[in-house]
């Protein structure tokens, strides 16, 4: 029995190491990204123009792919029906990845020093109406309901 274990030990080690190395590449297969049903925009300037045309406030979600609390919100808070309906109905929702070069200036403008950061901005882009950090699904729904017209 001992001899058989020694024979297969390199194979077992290889399988475990291979699985550990493959996990980052398979993360979207094992843990698919959430589809929250929110009509996110990713271009701040285009979203600002849309907000000015519609009169709806901007809902800015500053996050990053490596941020665990951001991932939690993307998986648990944003997909809830109440949050989805409020975000789509009362705002121009904009998801901004702070690691993108074109977003860094926007993040600095709003003094985003930690993520996730949620900023509600007036339709003309001139006034911050509210901001928050990590929120539970219930907290996010209450936050959005308070800010919606």
- Please check whether residues 49 and 28 belong to one and the same domain: no
- Say what the pTM is: 0.76
DSSP characters for 8-69?
Answer: HHHHHHHHHHHHHHHHHHHHHHHSPPP------B--HHHHHHHHHHH-PPEEEEEE-TT-HH
- Reported confidence tier of residue 63, pLDDT bands at 50, 70, 90: very high
Helix axes 137-147, 81-90, angle to 10 degrees: 20
> pLDDT of 28-42, one tens digit each?
444 445 578 999 999
* Residue 119 counted as domain residue: yes
Instruction: Please report, for the domain that includes residue 136, its CATH number.
Output: 3.40.30.10
- Give the structural domain span for 25: 1-32
- Please check whether residues 23 and 53 belong to one and the same domain: no
- Please check whether residues 73 and 139 belong to one and the same domain: yes
* Residue 38 counted as domain residue: no
* Residue 37 counted as domain residue: no
Are 39 and 86 in contact by the 8 Å Cβ rule? The answer is: no
Give the whole-angstrom CA distance, residue 110 versus residue 1: 65
Number of compact structural domains in the chain:
2
* Residue 114 counted as domain residue: yes
* Residue 91 counted as domain residue: yes
Just list the catalytic residues: 67, 70
* Residue 86 counted as domain residue: yes
Give the whole-angstrom CA distance, residue 147 versus residue 53: 19
- Please check whether residues 77 and 114 belong to one and the same domain: yes
For the cut 50, the answer to whether the pLDDT of residue 25 exceeds it is no
- Please check whether residues 51 and 27 belong to one and the same domain: no
- Please check whether residues 10 and 71 belong to one and the same domain: no
> pLDDT of 82-91, one tens digit each?
999 999 999 9
């Amino acid at each position: 029995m001992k001899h058989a274990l020694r024979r297969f030990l390199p194979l077992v080690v290889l399988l475990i190491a291979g699985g550990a190395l493959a996990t980052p590449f398979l993360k979207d297969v094992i843990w698919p990204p959430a589809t929250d049903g929110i009509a996110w925009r990713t271009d701040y300037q285009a979203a600002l123009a849309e907000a000015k045309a519609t009169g709806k406030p901007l809902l800015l979600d500053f996050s990053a792919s490596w941020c665990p609390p951001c991932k939690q919100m993307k998986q648990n808070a944003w997909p809830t029906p109440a949050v989805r309906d409020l975000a789509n109905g009362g705002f121009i929702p904009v998801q901004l990845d702070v690691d993108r070069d074109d977003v860094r200036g926007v993040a600095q403008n709003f003094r985003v020093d930690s993520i996730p950061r949620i900023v509600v901005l007036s339709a003309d882009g001139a006034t911050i109406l509210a901001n928050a950090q990590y929120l539970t699904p219930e907290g996010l729904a209450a936050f959005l309901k308070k800010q919606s017209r």
